[in-house]
Amino acid sequence: MDFLERFLRFDIEQIPLIAAVLIIAFTVHEFAHAYTAYKLGDTTAKDQGRLTLNPIQHLDPIGTLLIFIFGFGWARPVPVKRRNFKNPRLGGIIVSLMGPLSNFALAVIGTGILVLFSANFPPMLVEFLLWFNYFNVLLFVFNLLPLPPLDGYRILEDLVSPSVRAKMTQYEQYGSLVFLILVITPLGSYTIYPILNTVIPYFVSNLQNMFLSLL
């Protein structure tokens, strides 16, 4: 067991709670992308069985495993065909935004329950809510980073001119490699981690203070 724990970012005892949190967070995130695309006129995700809250359709085994090792991970990207939108660029931005925003909404709901109603909750449920809020804020912030293949990068693609987008697409595979290097090597301690370690506590703290002000 000690050998296994050396490769994990979290304690073994925390894994079941974190796994439950990730199943909910990843599933809602990808469903939000699929549902928004469907409502805007693209049925690609629906046709491929992704317009569902069944987590089996959304979880990526490797992406889920890595979050336990490095603290970062991903689900299976929802397929989207922008050309099916009435306004492809605006539609693309909205679809990309809805994934992170769904996680932020979950964090707001979870924080409200934790602050307003958890006084008599069992310790395990309180711990679940703490992880629930943390990971949903993490997914909200993390996915808005402008690095491929994250949602923030997709938003940036739709904000720039078509010529710039074409160049971004040309070099995207290299950007994805840089992203992985930043996540899984010590370089992350000087790039991504300082951002997350500052922004995530800011959001968590302010959400808690917002609900505490209601008491």
Sorted by sequence, the CB contacts under 8 Å of residue 200 that are 6+ apart come out as 134, 137, 138, 141
Instruction: Give the number of other Cβ atoms within 10 Å of residue 214's Cβ.
Output: 8
Tokens representing 96? Answer: 């990309």
Q: Taking a C-beta distance cutoff of 8 angstroms, is the pair 171, 179 a contact?
A: no
Which amino acid is residue 210, in one-letter code? M
* Contact call for residues 41 and 85 (beta carbons, < 8 A): yes
Per the structure block, which two tokens stand in for 40? Answer: 């805007």
Query: Could you report how far apart the first and last alpha carbons of the chain are, in Å?
Result: 43
CA–CA distance, 76 with 86 (Å, rounded to integer): 25
Place of tokens 């922004």: 199
* 50 neighbors 57 (Cβ within 8 angstroms): yes
Q: Which residues are catalytic?
A: 30
Which of 202, 147, 136 is CA-nearest to residue 173? 147
